[in-house]
Structure 1
Amino acid sequence: MMRERPKAVSLTDSAAERVKSIMASREKGFLRVGVKNGGCAGMEYVMEYVEAPDAMDERVEDKGVEIVLESKALLFLLGTQIDYEVTALHSKFTFNNPNQTDACGCGESVTIIPVQEA
């Protein structure tokens, strides 16, 4: 019997509920997660709406929510848990990423090392 492959990315209950809420207002499409070069620490997390996943994107289903991961970002995101945080001053998605080695003071950019093949 084959065991289930671990998910590349997981969602907290709060993040799953927020994604469901956001996507309920859209007729179709997906929420796509990736990374891009930028900011003082080198990289930034990116979330965007797409009509359809790219051919090489990774589709992840967790807690009844399907998201897609940008293929070029996959090695930077493996093992990440996405959360949705609400405080008196803001609400935002946060990323608990084991591959993240540093972050800038403002919290907008991070340093991430890709997962190394075994």
Structure 2
Amino acid sequence: MKNTAKLLHLKCHQNYIGIFLTSTAYTRLLKINENNIDKKFIYLSLKKSGCLGHKYYITLFKKINNSILFFNKQIDIYIEQKNIFLIDGIIIDYEVQPFHNKFKYYNKNIQHVCGCGESFNIKNIQEK
């Protein structure tokens, strides 16, 4: 992961660590917001998927119920309340490669990542 010294911190009104973005992830999310003519919200979710069980997704939604907002002056990211302990403290990067661009996620609660790097399993953690 590049640019770790310049992480942008998205805070929350509740007592959570937050979400951190590298400069490339921040730039990509700003671009998504620019092109978002339907005024949908950026939503970071965790779904059961892949060979190890979970995968992160960034999507756009019109309305999000039971969500927590992480924000700064230009970027808002919503997450489902039920996923807070699996997302809080995450670092999001955006990797630009010759044939494939993608968001990459770094989370201290990830125990194992599959060979392709897309799915993972999570340490058994207790709610704080």
Q: TM-score, normalised by structure 2?
A: 0.79
**Cα distance in 1, alignment partners of residues 25 and 125 from structure 2:** 24
Look up the match of 2:62. Answer: 51
Offset of residue 6 of structure 1: 4.8
- Equivalent residue, structure 2, for 1:76: 86
Gaps of 5+ in 2: 1-13
Equivalent in the alignment of 2:121? 111
Residue 26 of structure 2 aligns to a residue whose secondary structure is helix
Q: Which one-letter code corresponds to 2:54 in the other structure?
A: M
Aligned with 1:10: secondary structure? strand
Q: Which residue pairs with 1:39 in the alignment?
A: 50
Aligned-pair distance for 1:13?
1.5
Taking every aligned residue pair, what percent have the same amino acid on both sides? Answer: 32
Over the aligned positions, Cα root-mean-square deviation in angstroms equals 1.9
Segment of structure 1 superposing worse, 86-95 or 7-16: 7-16
Runs of 4+ in 1 over 2 A off after TM superposition: 4-8, 113-118
Structure 1 length normalisation: TM-score?
0.85
SS at match of 1:59: strand
Amino acid at match of 1:76: L
Contact 1:59 1:69 in 2 (8 A): yes
State the partner residue of 1:90: 100
Aligned length: 114
CA distance in 2, matches of 1:40, 1:25: 33
